[in-house]
Amino acid sequence: MTTRFVPTTTRSAIETVKTDREWTTDERDVFATFTDRIADLDVAAVNSSADELQQPSTRLLVPSPHASNTAASLEEVRDIYRETVMAVEHYADVYGDTLEESLAQEFGPEVATIVLTSDQLTPQLRERLVECSQQARESRHSLLQGLKSESNALETADAKLTRLGSDLDGIVGKHSFENWTDTELDGADERLRSRRHECEQLLTDRQITLSEQRVPGTHRIDHGFNEYLYESLSVTYPVVTDTISLVDTLRTAQQSVKQALTARELTSDEEPDTAALCGKSD
């Protein structure tokens, strides 16, 4: 069986989603590591009387004046962040953030400012860092579920489009069907019509899927799911693009077959009645 139409855009999308799943898995896992390492750090005790007088954001900053020397410094926190979150293999190419930008993206500007400008790790700040890191991990986990669903949808679409676009070499691009019988032309017309109908159903199903897609809550995604996923591709909706292309191919082929059938009917109507002519000559 020869394939005439290949859903190249959908296959590019499959590779794109595969790569994104690998990156997102790495990020999810590294935030788990960051959480564990921060949770194990010693903290500076906070002066309870001072704590009661401070605003919530300021309380994160205030260690006791008698803090233990064993309390972790925020320089240690910054080093851990660099060694984990910012050390994933794709980080520089995909994000390229500075430490300040990355902390603000993942944990919010308030926490980022404290981590960058203060000295010691307080219990409240450690708790906030652990909480934010767990949220970042969960956002990646949610994104992975969406990527898995999209990957399955792409694989299904690729299989359908490949099947619907196969074995068309004898029809697509053919300029003449003069050697075809009427039965062969009728069969080709029906086959093309059936495949177009399946393509149209695939478009409908894909539109439903797109309308139901939701962008998981992550700090790094602030636009549509497909815009996020396929930013590196030339199209935003690869399955729709390939399906419309195949529909156009099938429609053009069907028009050629219909023209051949119509021409044959006209020729048949114009042929003289040989028997009648013979009778007249008698």
Give 6's Cβ-side CA count (13 Å radius): 5
Higher pLDDT, 67 or 39: 39
Residue 149 has pLDDT above 90, yes or no: yes
State how far the Cα of 72 lies from the Cα of 176, in Å rounded to an integer. 82
pLDDT band, residue 176 (cuts 50/70/90): confident
Q: Convert the pLDDT of each residue in 102-142 to its tens digit.
A: 999 999 999 999 999 999 999 999 999 999 999 999 999 99
pLDDT digits (tens, 9 = 90+) for 180-234: 899 999 999 999 999 999 999 999 999 998 888 776 655 555 567 888 899 999 9
Residue 219 exposure: Cα atoms within 13 Å on the Cβ side: 18
Look at residue 269 in the predicted model and tell me its pLDDT. Answer: 61
Which tokens belong to 276? 């009648």
| C-beta of residue 237 within 8 angstroms of C-beta of residue 10 | no
Residue 267: pLDDT band (50, 70, 90) is confident
∠ CA 231-232-234 to the nearest 5 degrees?
Answer: 90
Kindly state the tokens that stand for 219: 């700090």
> Residue range 20-33: average pLDDT?
97
In 3D space, the residue among 264, 266, 253 whose CA is nearest the CA of residue 175 turns out to be: 253
**Identity at 197, one-letter amino acid code:** H
Do 250 and 199 touch, CB atoms closer than 8 A? Answer: yes
